[in-house]
Amino acid sequence: MVPIGVVRIFIRNFAQRAHPLVYLTRKDIPFEFGPRQIQAQEDLKQALLESPALRAIDYTSDSPVILAVDTSYIAVGFHLCQCDLENPRIRYYNRFSSITLNDRESRFSQPKLEIYGLFRALRALRLYLIGVRNLVIEVDARYIKGMLQNPDIAPSASINRWIVAILTFHFTLVHVPGTNHGPDGLSRRPRQPDDEDEPEDDFEDWIDRIHGFAHLVNPHPTQKVTRDSLASIYTIDEPHPHSQHSSQVPEGEGESQDPPVDSYDIVPRSIQAIALDQRLLLVRDWHRTLERPAQFTDADYETFVKFAVQFFVTLTDFGSAIRTEHTNSSSHPTDVSIFCEHVTMK
C-alpha cells in the first residue's frame, strides 16, 4: 500500500478501490487475504499503469529527477520520478522496482545494507540515468553521506568497490525521514513466485569496466624501447606523441613505416594540470637563469620562489631535468623526477 500511496491523488476512487486492503490494517481485524483483496490489488496495479502520473523521463528538461532508495534485510526498494518544472512538489513517476536479497546479503549490517542497496539501485537504473541533468537521490539513512565522502575508512574492499561505482554518478544526496519515504514498502516485499531471476553474470564486473577507456588513452608499450624512442615519447616542449614504434623484428629483415603519432594534447587533463605543466617550465627556466619572469608581481614572485626552491636541476641522458625529494606522511622518502625536455616520474 505504501508504494502505490504516493500516487493516490492520480487514481480515481482510490479509497474505494483500496478499501478491502486497508480494512485488513485495522485493529483486532483478522488478516484474511481472500479473493476480494486479490481483486483489489490487481485493480490498483492496473490503475497505476494507466495513471497520467506515470511518464517517461524528459532528458531535455532541467527539472530534478529523483531516485528514492530504501533497503531492508528483505529487499532493495526504489522508485524513479521527475518533478514538474513549474511546481517541484508535483512528481511524475517513471518506474517502481524491488530487488530481493539472498541469505548472505540479508545478513549484512545495516550501514552495509544501505550502501549496497544504493549501489544495486543505481546499477539497475544506470541506462535510464544516462543524460539526466539534475539527479537527486533520496535516502532515509544519514550516514550514507559520510560513507561516500570518506571511502578510505570503509571496513572492507567490497564496500569500497560499491562506493567507487556510486561516485561515478553525479547526484545530490538528500535525507528523507523514514516515515515519509516512499520506497519503504517496496523494501519489505518478499520474493514472489513469478519474479524474474537476476542475471547470472557477475554484476560487480561492471565496476572493473568503468574506467576501461584509460587503456585507449595510454596504450601499454609493447614495442622495442630504445633511447631515441624514449626521447620522442617523453617530450613536452614539442607535441607529446604516444607513438607506436616498429614491431620487434631483427635488423635486416625489413622495416615498417611508423604510423602517424598523436599529440599529447589529446590526453584529457584538467585546467589545473595544464597550469602546473606551464609552471614547471617556468621553474626550469628560473633555475637556468635565476631571472624573474616579467609577468610576476612582487607577491607572485615571492610565492613562485618558495615553490621553485623545492626543485633542483640535473643533467640526464635525455637532457636537463628538475627533481624534487620530499617525505610523505609515512616517513618514507619519495624521489620524484620531472624532466622538462623529457618528462618521467619515478
Mind listing the pLDDT tens digit for each residue in 247-301?
A: 444 555 545 555 565 565 656 667 777 888 888 888 888 888 888 888 889 888 9
Residue 118's pLDDT band, with cuts at 50, 70 and 90, is very high
Cα distance between residue 32 and residue 24, in whole Å: 7
Indicate the SS3 state at residue 178.
helix
Give the pLDDT confidence score for residue 238 in this predicted structure. Answer: 45
Residue 81's pLDDT band, with cuts at 50, 70 and 90, is very high
- The answer to whether residues 342 and 230 touch, using CB atoms and an 8 Å cutoff, is yes
Each residue of 90-104: pLDDT tens digit? 888 888 888 989 889
Tell me, what amino acid is at 134?
N
Cα distance between residue 239 and residue 225, in whole Å: 19
What is the grid cell recorded at 61? 528538461
Dihedral through CA 281, CA 283, CA 285, CA 287, nearest 10? -150
Closest-CA residue to 125 (of 47, 172, 57): 57
What is the side-by-side strand order in the sheet with 65-71?
91-100, 75-83, 65-71, 135-139, 172-175
Average pLDDT of the chain to the nearest whole number: 74
Give the pLDDT confidence score for residue 3 in this predicted structure. Answer: 63
Give the pLDDT confidence score for residue 154 in this predicted structure. Answer: 64
Instruction: Give the residue ranges of DSSP H helices in 173-297.
Output: 205-208, 214-217, 227-233, 271-289
Indicate the SS3 state at residue 324.
strand
Q: How many CB atoms lie within 10 A of CB 141?
A: 21
Give the pLDDT confidence score for residue 227 in this predicted structure. Answer: 55
Find the length of the chain: 346
Indicate the SS3 state at residue 271.
helix
What is the grid cell recorded at 253? 629483415
Indicate the SS3 state at residue 183.
helix
Cα distance between residue 221 and residue 154, in whole Å: 35
| Mean pLDDT value across residues 221-246 | 49
